[in-house]
Amino acid sequence: MAGSLGVGLLILGPAAKLDAIGVAAALAAALSMAMGTVLIERWGRIGTPLAVAAWQLALGGLVLLPVALFVEGLPPVLTARNAVGFAYLIVIGTALGYWLWIRGIGVLGADVTFLSLLSPLTATVLGALVLGEWFSPVQSAGAVLILGATVAGMALSRRAKAVVQTTSPARPVKPAGPRVR
């Protein structure tokens, strides 16, 4: 919760106005991402990370298509410049990003999902460094909350793994004698 509050402080400027539909969409997206991440770990690998990412993105796109058409209407005429921009967003920004995320969850487990809090922080810091954007005191407080939540998440994750390792048997239990039929 502290990390989510930190993200809110980080991205909401003084002139920001909350829109109920936008907040609901953001909460639905966060819930969907969390469920997908946990299910990937729970179900194990049902395919390659690329196949899993492709199916998740295709199904998500199909669910959102009627909503997008209802809210935004038909898209404008597609120009070559727009096509290049869409291709970049689809291949680099989305497909590669999700492939890496799913591959990482397969290796590290779902308990590292708190690292996703660092994404908006990274974007904001890059905006300040590259574009010279201004960091307000409220945004600084949000950044501190995000970093604190990330450190706390790492510590709790390590503690939970240590408890599991100390309460689990060090080696598998084998029968004492020969097997009787």
For the chain, give every domain's residue range: 2-162
In terms of Cα–Cα distance, which of 59, 46, 64, 148 is closest to 105?
46
Query: Would you state the structure tokens that stand for residue 52, as one six-digit string?
Result: 């899993």
Task: Return the minimum-mean-pLDDT range out of 37-46, 60-69, 118-127.
Answer: 37-46
Give the Cβ contact number of residue 133 at 10 Å: 12
User: Are the C-beta atoms of residues 124 and 143 closer than 8 Å to each other?
Assistant: yes
Flag whether the pTM goes above 0.85: no
Query: Would you state the structure tokens that stand for residue 36, as one six-digit string?
Result: 């997908």
45 in helix, strand or coil?
A: coil
Kindly tell me if the per-residue pLDDT of 162 is higher than 70.
no
Confidence of residue 29 (pLDDT cuts 50, 70, 90): confident
pLDDT digits (tens, 9 = 90+) for 85-123: 989 998 888 888 888 877 787 777 767 777 778 888 888
User: Are the C-beta atoms of residues 102 and 45 closer than 8 Å to each other?
Assistant: no
